[in-house]
Structure 1
C-alpha cells in the first residue's frame, strides 16, 4: 500500500525539527567562537575556510538556475546571487566577508584566492554544489532551508563577536547583519515551494534527507576546523598556516 503524505503542518514540523537536532550552532567550534574562546588564529582559520563556502553559494545558485524552466522561479531565485555577488552599485555578501577578513588581519586577496582552505572544507562544499547541480529541484531547494535556523546563529555571532573580540565592529560584522534581513525572505519562499511541491510521502522524505545532508555539510566544515586548529591541531597539507596571508 502506498503511504499517504503527511499533512502540510506535520511535514513542516519534520523540517523544522532538523535544526534543533543537527544545526551547526551546537558544534563545539561555534560555541567556542561565540563565547570568545577562539584565538585570533582560530578566528582567521574560520574566516578563510568559511569564505570558500560563501564564494561557492552564488555558483551553486547559478547551477540551480541553469536547470529551472519556470521563469517565475528563476526571477525570484536570482536575487540570491545578487545578495552574495552584489551589483554594480551595491556590494554583496562576498565583499562584506572580505571586510571581515581584513578586520582580523588577513590579506583579502589571499582569502579570495582560496589558498589555505582545508581539504575537508573543499570536499564538503564542492559536494553541496554538485548536489544542487545534479539532484531533483525539490531536493536542491530543500537543501537550502538551513536558512530556517540561521537568524538565531547570526544574532548570537554578532553579539559574541562584538563582546569578545577587538576586531569586531559595525563594518566587520556587516555580513551577518545583512543576512538577518536577506535570509528570511529567501527561506520563506523556499519553504513554501518545498511544501507545495512535495506531493507524496517519498517527496517529503527526500526533502527531509536533503535538509539533513545540508546540515552535515555545515557540520563537516567545523569538524575540519576543530581537528586542524583546536584539537589535535594537525593541519593537513595545503591548509592555512598561522602567519600566512596576513596584511
Structure 2
C-alpha cells in the first residue's frame, strides 16, 4: 500500500478484514452455535478458551508497562479491571470459570492449563509476545478484533441456550457484560489507531496486525476441530472428553 488512507478508508479496510477472517466463520463455531457439538466438544472449547481469557490481563499489563501516554494507560487499565475484577466484583476470568464449572469441568484441570491443546498454548503465547515486542501502534491494533465480538457473542448466547439443555443463562453470565465492554474498548482503540497511523507504512502495519490477530483466533479453532471433530487426533496429554471414542 503506497497511498495514505483517510480514517474512514482505514476503518473500512479493517472491517473488510474482519468480515473475511474473523473466527465466527470457522466450522467449529458454526457447530458450537447451532447445537452440533457434543458436550465433550463444548467442554474442550471452554477449557481451551480459558487460557486465552486468563492471559489477556498479562497482555494488557505488558502494554501498560511500556506505555508513555498517560491517557492511553488510564484507558487501558479498565481492561485489567474487566478481566481481573476485585474483592467485591468478579471479573471476566472468574465468570469464565463459572462457565467451565457449569459444564462439569474440574476447576483445577482448567486453571492448571495442563490439558490444553499445544496449538492453543502456542497461539495465545504468540499473541502475548506480539503485544510485548511490537510497536505501541501494533499492540493497540491487536485488540481490534473486538470490533466484531458483539456479533459472535450474541450468536453464541442465543445458539447455545437454544440447543444445549445443560447450558443456562447463569453459566453464560460471562457474556452478559462483554458486548458493552468490547464496544467501549474497540471504539477507543479504533479511534486511537486512526489518529496515530498517519503514514501508509503505519496503516499497513495496523491491517497486518488485525490479520495476525484473526489468524491467532482461527488457529485456535483449527486445533479444536482437528482434535475433537475430524480427524479426532487428540494430542498426548490434552483433554479427552468422556464422550470421546478417541
Give the whole-Å Cα distance in 2 for the aligned partners of 1:18 and 1:3.
Answer: 18
Structure 2: unaligned runs, 5 residues or longer: none
CA distance in 2, matches of 1:157, 1:3: 39
Match of 1:41 in 2: 40
Report the equivalent of 1:225.
224
Q: Are 1:119 and 1:238, in contact at CA under 8 Å, matched by a contact in 2?
A: no
Root mean square deviation of aligned Cα: 1.3
Gaps spanning 5+ residues in structure 1: where? none
1: CA distance between counterparts of 2:166 and 2:72?
Answer: 39
Q: Which residue of 1 aligns with 2:102?
A: 103
Equivalents in 1 of 2:90, 2:23: separation in Å?
27
Q: Provide the secondary structure at the position in 1 that maps to 2:20.
A: helix
> 1:195 maps to what in 2?
194
Q: What is the match of residue 204 of structure 2?
A: 205
Are residues 1:147 and 2:142 paired? no
| Residue 29 (structure 2) aligns with | 30
- Rounded Cα–Cα distance in structure 2 between residues aligned with 1:159 and 1:118: 27
Q: What is the SS of the residue equivalent to 1:167?
A: coil
Equivalences, count: 243
Q: 1:3 deviation in Å?
A: 3.6
Q: Specify the alignment match of 2:155 in structure 1.
A: 156
In structure 1, the residue matched to 2:179 is 180
Shift of 1:182: 0.9
Hey, what's the Cα distance between the residues in 2 that align with 1:188 and 1:215?
18
Partners in 1 of 2:6 and 2:69 — Cα distance? 26
Deviation larger for 212-221 or 234-243? 234-243
1:169 Cα deviation from its structure 2 partner: 1.6
Report the Cα offset of residue 201 of structure 1.
0.4
Assess if the C-alpha contact under 8 Å between 1:158 and 1:177 holds in 2. no
TM-score by length of 1: 0.96
For residues 155 and 37 of structure 1, the distance between their equivalents in structure 2, rounded to whole angstroms, comes to 18
CA contact (8 A) 1:99 1:108 kept: no
Instruction: Give matches, 1:34-183, under 5 Å.
Output: 34-183=33-182
